[in-house]
């Protein structure tokens, strides 16, 4: 017998608002539960796109919040000439973080210009700039903010994965306020991922999770870092058993004593004796009482028995057939970026008012997988008679429930929002070129494929 054929369908729904603006919603349904997370293919174009987004949109729009922003990445063929050991951070294993520590120590602003108190730092700064790997965006504040950029960002359309459907997945560090420590970098994904019982990344910030069991049933539930098993060098660590975990927003600095292991994106990025370590916004710190003999920097997270797939990103959209009417997961306001510091700071903070492109993943009344993309207004070139207005979180939840979703969560929306159906987009991206209004695909680190 041949392989069983997967029933797959895509349909565009158009909703008309009272003010006569429209909202287009792509709804993809499938009777397959063959969902997979995948990393996008790293692209050098992603760095220039991040810089362009800051220079042409983010900083001009919020210039009073920003000073001199230094965005930089590390090319693979460049060796870092700086010491990886410091009193403040212990031993740093991640090269991009080592550079960030060095820049933090030896850069300052004088008369609006970047100055150096160390020749080696200036030479490395100039090297990155000459290679096109360091660029500056300038706001109105008189300060410097370092924004290291991950080299793992890529594009859904360039991803080498065989699938009928691809959708962008997780929130990732993108905002100035999310780069809270030298260990945070733009492009780092945040939130739990589970596939075939394997926990691929840990939960953070106590946000809601869409969980699909091996029997196909689904639920909206909660995962916590403090209930997660951390496996390092073959040994299992659990909070308040043989280790203590620290994460934001509860902790910004660990307590004194022991040995701290800073963990970001599945790797140990630093080791610090004596405690008092800064807690990254996109990871956590594990404190143990004795120094570990690290054979590998890779970290894994155990299993979730009976779970076929789980994803933790945004607020729930629908729970048990009812549309969410408010924030049920913790988020914070862009207007108060100092309390507390954890991603994503620029998540729209008015649940029923702020419109944007949205993506939602869930299951419907027939027990099928259901993916929604709510097209948003273009940042440039929006025509209210032809283009979607974008949906509030409240509207997105209502659309999802109306179309039959039973349980579902918001994935990353905004400029990242898109669905590739049979390799093509059926709606328009919201990121547009200000000159000719052509669509600009935003780079992302993680996607979800449906095979």
pLDDT in tens, 332-373: 655 565 554 455 555 656 889 889 999 999 999 999 999 999
> Which pLDDT belongs to residue 341?
44
Q: Give the other-Cβ count within 10 Å of 214's Cβ.
A: 13
pTM of the model: 0.93
> Which pLDDT belongs to residue 336?
60
> Which pLDDT belongs to residue 379?
78
User: Is 2 a residue whose pLDDT tops 70?
Assistant: no
> Which pLDDT belongs to residue 345?
53
> Which pLDDT belongs to residue 192?
97
> Which pLDDT belongs to residue 441?
93
User: Is 213 a residue whose pLDDT tops 90?
Assistant: yes
Q: Which of the 8 DSSP states describes residue 7?
A: P
- How many Å apart are CA 166 and CA 8, to the nearest integer? 13
Any alpha helices (H) in 58-200, and if so which ranges? 59-61, 95-106, 119-130
> Which pLDDT belongs to residue 386?
83
- How many Å apart are CA 157 and CA 421, to the nearest integer? 11
> Which pLDDT belongs to residue 350?
81
- How many Å apart are CA 384 and CA 398, to the nearest integer? 21
> Which pLDDT belongs to residue 144?
96
> Which pLDDT belongs to residue 436?
81
- How many Å apart are CA 79 and CA 116, to the nearest integer? 20
Do the beta carbons of residue 280 and residue 304 sit within 8 Å? no
> Which pLDDT belongs to residue 6?
57
Q: Which of the 8 DSSP states describes residue 401?
A: H
Do the beta carbons of residue 315 and residue 393 sit within 8 Å? yes
Predicted confidence band of residue 378 (pLDDT cuts 50, 70, 90):
confident
Arithmetic mean of pLDDT, 93-114: 96
> Which pLDDT belongs to residue 233?
94
Give buried/exposed letters for 75-113 (b at 16+ CB in 10 A, else e). eeeeeeebebebeebbebbbebbbbbbbbeebbeeeeee
Q: Residue 334: how many CA atoms within 13 Å on its side-chain side?
A: 15
ω into residue 344 within 30 of 0, thus cis? yes
Arithmetic mean of pLDDT, 379-385: 79
Measured in degrees and rounded to the nearest 5, phi and psi for residue 128 equal -60, -40
Closest CA to 186 of 377, 58, 354: 58
Interacting residues of 61 by C-beta distance below 8 A, sequence separation 6+: none
Arithmetic mean of pLDDT, 195-207: 93
Least confident of 101-110, 171-180, 183-192, 241-250: 171-180
> Which pLDDT belongs to residue 246?
97
Arithmetic mean of pLDDT, 280-295: 95
Any alpha helices (H) in 70-210, and if so which ranges? 95-106, 119-130
User: Is 298 a residue whose pLDDT tops 90?
Assistant: yes
> Which pLDDT belongs to residue 250?
86
* Percent of the residues in the chain that have a pLDDT greater than 70, as a whole number: 94
In whole angstroms, how far apart are CA 166 and each of 110, 152, 263, 320? 47, 18, 28, 25
Arithmetic mean of pLDDT, 227-252: 95
Predicted confidence band of residue 138 (pLDDT cuts 50, 70, 90):
very high
Q: Residue 269: how many CA atoms within 13 Å on its side-chain side?
A: 27
> Which pLDDT belongs to residue 5?
52
User: Is 172 a residue whose pLDDT tops 60?
Assistant: yes
pLDDT in tens, 39-50: 999 998 999 999
* Percent of the residues in the chain that have a pLDDT greater than 90, as a whole number: 78
Is the model more confident about 379 or about 39?
Answer: 39
Which residue in the block uniquely carries the two structure tokens 């797939």? 309
């Amino acid at each position: 017998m041949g392989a069983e054929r997967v029933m797959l369908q895509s349909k565009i729904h158009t909703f008309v608002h009272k003010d006569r603006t429209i909202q287009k919603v792509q709804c993809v349904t499938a009777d397959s539960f063959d969902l997979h997370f995948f990393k996008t293919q790293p692209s050098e174009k992603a760095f220039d796109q991040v810089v362009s987004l800051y220079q042409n949109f983010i900083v001009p729009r919020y210039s009073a919040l920003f000073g001199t922003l230094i965005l930089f990445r590390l090319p693979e063929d460049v060796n870092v000439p700086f010491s990886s050991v410091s009193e403040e951070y212990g031993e740093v294993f991640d090269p991009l973080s080592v550079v960030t520590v060095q820049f933090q120590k030896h850069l300052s602003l004088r008369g609006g210009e970047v100055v150096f108190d160390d020749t080696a730092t200036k030479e490395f700064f100039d090297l990155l700039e000459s290679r096109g790997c360091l660029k500056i965006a300038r706001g109105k504040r008189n300060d410097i903010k370092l924004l290291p950029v991950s080299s793992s960002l890529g594009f859904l359309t360039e991803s080498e994965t065989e699938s009928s459907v691809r959708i962008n997945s997780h929130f990732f560090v993108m905002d100035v306020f999310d780069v809270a420590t030298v260990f945070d970098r733009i492009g780092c994904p945040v939130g739990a991922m589970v596939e075939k019982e394997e926990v691929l990344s840990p939960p953070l910030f106590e946000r809601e999770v869409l969980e699909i069991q091996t029997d196909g049933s689904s639920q909206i539930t909660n995962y916590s870092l403090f209930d997660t098993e951390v496996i390092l060098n073959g040994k299992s660590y659990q909070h308040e058993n043989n280790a203590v975990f620290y994460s934001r927003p509860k902790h910004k600095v660990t307590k004194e004593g022991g040995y701290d292991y800073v963990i970001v994106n599945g790797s140990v990025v630093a080791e610090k004796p004596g405690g008092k370590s800064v807690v990254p916004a996109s990871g956590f710190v594990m404190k143990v009482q004795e120094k570990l003999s690290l054979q590998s920097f890779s970290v894994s997270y155990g299993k979730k028995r009976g779970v076929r797939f789980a994803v933790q990103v945004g607020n729930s959209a629908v729970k048990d057939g009812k549309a969410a009417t408010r924030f049920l997961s913790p988020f914070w306001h862009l207007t108060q970026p100092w309390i507390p510091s954890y991603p994503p700071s620029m998540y729209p903070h008015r649940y029923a008012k702020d419109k944007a492109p949205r993506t939602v993943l869930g299951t419907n009344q027939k027990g099928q997988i259901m993916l929604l993309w709510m097209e948003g207004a273009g940042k440039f070139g929006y025509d209210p008679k032809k283009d979607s207005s974008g949906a509030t979180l409240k509207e997105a939840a209502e659309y999802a429930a109306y179309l039959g979703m039973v349980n579902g969560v918001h994935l990353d929306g905004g400029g990242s929002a898109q669905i590739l159906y049979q390799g093509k987009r059926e709606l328009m991206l919201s990121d547009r070129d200000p000159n000719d209004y052509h669509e600009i695909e935003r780079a992302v680190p993680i996607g979800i494929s449906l095979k």
